[in-house]
Every structure is written in structure tokens, then in C-alpha cells.
Amino acid sequence: MTKEIAPTSATEPSIAAVVLAGGRSRRMGEDKALLVARDKPLLQHVCEVAIAVAQPVAVVAAEPERYRAIVPSGCQLVAEQPGFEGPLVGFARGLAAVRADADVDWVLALACDLPCLDASAVREWQLQLSALPDDRLAFLPRHPEGWWEALCGFYRGSCLPSLQAYAAAGGRSFQGWLDRCSVAELPVRDRAQFLNCNTPEDLERARQR
């Protein structure tokens, strides 16, 4: 069980979370959200990390009921729009859901396949949010190849109109949208936190850690 972390103080920004479980898992060959690594399903682990640092938490999926048995009770299941629109549209849907419940300052976006993600590391990142300039719309790690790790980082709750406008104009690329935004780079000490399970080989590496 993920270790519980104390709630933030009144002086810290409010945090919600959106977990995306709507990918097609083509390279994996089966629904990776349900695959087990480190003694629990991938989606369950990520949801437990999210709950430890954020509230409310929305889990966006094409078939939400498929995951009810493994999603912690503190999470809200949100159905994707009909047809696979990709992670950017899924995130916009989840962001709208958590903002409907509360006016949050920041939203943690997480893919469902991060078996090495640790709540204490996310909490360390969270504590840096209050020091960011007001014009920074996102706080994300950068991959060594230069692109943003869009589904393991923070976005201002106020980014929703920009995100929806980009999607309404036909935009579906997270990197394309982020190129239009002011993004602060999240410093990373341990890149294992960002290990994605996209293939059976990735899953085996996670199981061996």
C-alpha cells in the first residue's frame, strides 16, 4: 500500500489529479492498466500515488466500469468521449471533471503505466509549485531527447480554456500544445520514476526493479 502523505497546508496550492487509462495498449497486446507489476495492477498503483498527494482524483477511461474493482474508492471514474481522441482530449475531460468539484490551483496528470512512481517524489515536486512564476502553465520533466513528459507532471487548473481551444481547433498533440505554453522544467534526480510500460519488455523491467 502506498504510504499516506499528510495534506498540504493552507498556504500551499490546492492539487487535483487526472489519471489517464484510455490508451489502446497496442504495443503491449493487452490492457496494460490491468497488468500487475510490483504486486499490484499498474492503474491501482498510480491511483494510490495520486490519492496520496491530491484530491479530487479523476480516472479517465473508455470503459470506466472495467476498472472499478481496482480503482481506490477516493477516485472518480470519468468516461472518455466516444471514439479514441487521444490523451490530450482525455486529459481535458478529466480536468473539466475535477474542476467541476473544486477550484484547484494545479492538476497532476499521470499515465496509468508508471509502476516505479513514488508518492514521496511527487510530493517533493509538489512543494516546488508555489515558487513558480505566475506565467508558467505547466511544470513537467523533460525527456533526454528533448520532449516533455506530458503525463507525469503538473498543469495549472486555469489551463483548461487553452487546452479546450486547441482541441476544438483539431489539435491532438500534447507536445504541439505545450510548444504554445510557458512550461517550467521539473528537475529530475531519478529517471526510473518515469518508466512507462508500453511493451512486454518494459513490464518485465518494472517487475525486476
Q: Which of 91, 64, 84 is nearest to 76 (CA)?
A: 64
Model pLDDT for residues 91-131, shown as the tens digit of each residue: 999 999 999 977 899 999 999 999 999 999 999 999 999 99
Q: Does domain 15-208 have CATH number 1.10.8.60?
A: no
Is 22 annotated to bind ligand?
yes
Q: pTM score, two decimals?
A: 0.90
Band (48; pLDDT cuts 50, 70, 90): very high
Cα radius of gyration (the chain): 16
Q: What is the pLDDT of residue 8?
A: 47
Is 113 annotated to bind ligand?
yes
Measured CA to CA, the distance from residue 139 to residue 154 in angstroms comes to: 5
Sign (positive or negative) of CA dihedral 153, 33, 174, 99: negative
What residues does each domain of the chain span?
Answer: 15-208
Band (84; pLDDT cuts 50, 70, 90): confident
Measured CA to CA, the distance from residue 13 to residue 120 in angstroms comes to: 17
Is 21 annotated to bind ligand?
yes
Is 140 annotated to bind ligand?
no
* Average predicted confidence (pLDDT) for the chain: 89
Measured CA to CA, the distance from residue 88 to residue 86 in angstroms comes to: 6
Please determine, for residue 5, whether its predicted confidence score (pLDDT) is greater than 60: no
Is 146 annotated to bind ligand?
no
Q: What is the pLDDT of residue 26?
A: 61
